Chains A and B, each alone.
Chain A
């Protein structure tokens, strides 16, 4: 294969890996929104927090796999705390209150990581087995990116099993499309909410660990991913997992090839895409409700 094609393929893999990570973050965001009507503006901060946890666990245990397992769980724990002790108390004040509260939380998390870890970029080393390139049919693929894609697929498979094979999953799916209906069925919704919030932040946590070795860990991480994830959710349609998936992949590729062709204005491309979609469909590609 000639070098140009090889380069395109490599970019494609990069885009796919980023798109998958993006989807992990965006799916949590859109799930929480669909179920509870809460747009968690601190969602990307949890993603970043998990990357820092990963760095911390790694420097204590020296084991990447342990960090991969523990960091998202620790993150989800904080997510559940947020839901249980803050968000639930201000439910009566409506969406404006929730948005403002989660902005406040995101700022506190940002200040927190700066206090504990400083503002430097912290490197995260992956184990040797994930290093380097693998050659398939004469093409070189970076192993870690392939691992990220694989990891995301495994997480998705687990999520799919959870959503489609368990009773809880059924409740959650029904809740995402019609929360009032499920409410009326006399199910213990507060508990389900807490669970959904936990799973949502856990997904962001997995993404945080996955991205840490690629981008390193620094306080601007949340902004960068947060913006992309919000654009995905807005464009894909609030509360639509399908929309989030499709748009995540489009954006992954858009940013990968965008860097190639218009390096300066790559971020602008995404906004442009969003603007066009919203002008045609104000509620996003697959969104139907506010």
Chain B
């Protein structure tokens, strides 16, 4: 009972904090927070593949990019598109891409899966540079109109104002993360973890492994597209280097590794820690690759279970310490 009350209280405090955040920290840190939230969702979708299904992707950026380009294209070329339609287009573009790829991808795993994603990710990158008339080449697509959030006659919220966009982005990204969390808690979610641990036995228990993987793949891709769509509207720009570059595929892998591969919230921690590191280092150095590379090496060498892993081992030491003191 008290547990339930505690839960409600902490959730209310958290939501209140999110509500007053822009007032408290000003526009710069409001935008930093939106960036963090975008990457948090993006990293969570990657972990759905990596941590929950055992599939490492080095091409996740193509879904992020599909979402971004889908939204940017529909906003550029169609009049009267609503905010939710723009978002939906981004989501569906990524889902479409996942649908096209999944017949091949569900048949492989391990190294082959990682490599195929690297290759297809690069293909998307090259295509977005070459198909200039559609994607705008190196410049990308920018300056498209951002629709307002309207319910005719009732609400009109201008999304050009950073604070308003903050609330919109946080609502969408937060809801997406919650849905994915719920997804992992469903019966399907437990079958998914079974595929990671022992795909052959899942088959012998009467579940279809390829179909299970396909559903996870499409969900992970689609929600990465949501992150990409929000990102495109946030920057009012989507470009090959910003969305589809291979570094953008490595970033969520790294966030997941930093945060902790074995937990749902690990990647979110990872995104936060990464954001802080980036804030600090970008003031002193331009060398993103060096920072990213060194972090990957250090994490894998010294804390392969990431931040959540460290937390867990501290907690464990603390309980054994308490038990020892008692006796």
Contacts and interface: CB of A to CB of B under 8 A. Distances in A.
**Taking the complex as a whole, does A directly touch B, i.e. does some CB pair lie under 8 Å apart?**
yes
Interface stretch (A146-154, A182-190, A276-284): A276-284
Chain A: number of interface residues, binned into ranges: 35 or more
Interface in B256-311: 257, 287, 289-290, 292-297, 300-301, 304
Interface string A248-290: 0000000000000000110110010011001100110000001
Interface in B79-123: 103-104, 107-112, 114-116, 118-120, 122-123
Given A108-B290, A271-B123, A101 B107 contact: no
B130 interface: yes
A287 B81 CA distance: 49
A108 B119 contact: no
Contact of B297 (A33, A104, A271): A104
The majority secondary structure among interface residues of chain B is: helix
A36 B320 CA distance: 40
Nearest to B106: A282
Contacts of B257: 100
Contacts of B120: 271
B97 to A, nearest CB: 14
A176 B156 CA distance: 66
A227 B119 contact: yes
A89 B119 contact: no
B253 interface: yes
B41 interface: no
Chain B: number of interface residues, binned into ranges: 35 or more
Given A99-B111, A99-B114, A234-B119, A107 B296 contact: yes
Contacts of A238: 111-112
B112 A104 contact: no
A223 to B, nearest CB: 8
Most chain A CB within 10 A, of B50, B58, B127, B301, is at B301
Contacts of A104: 292-297, 300
Most chain B CB within 10 A, of A41, A96, A101, A230, is at A96
A275 B105 CA distance: 11
Contact of B296 (A100, A230, A233): A100
Contact of B111 (A39, A231, A282): A39
A97 B296 contact: no
Interface of B: 50, 56, 58, 103-104, 107-112, 114-116, 118-120, 122-123, 126-127, 130, 246, 250, 253-254, 257, 287, 289-290, 292-297, 300-301, 304
5 contacts: A89-B301, A101-B300, A104-B295, A238-B111, A267-B123
Given A39-B114, A95-B56, A104-B294, 7 more contacts: A104-B293, A107-B296, A111-B290, A234-B119, A274-B119, A278-B104, A290-B111
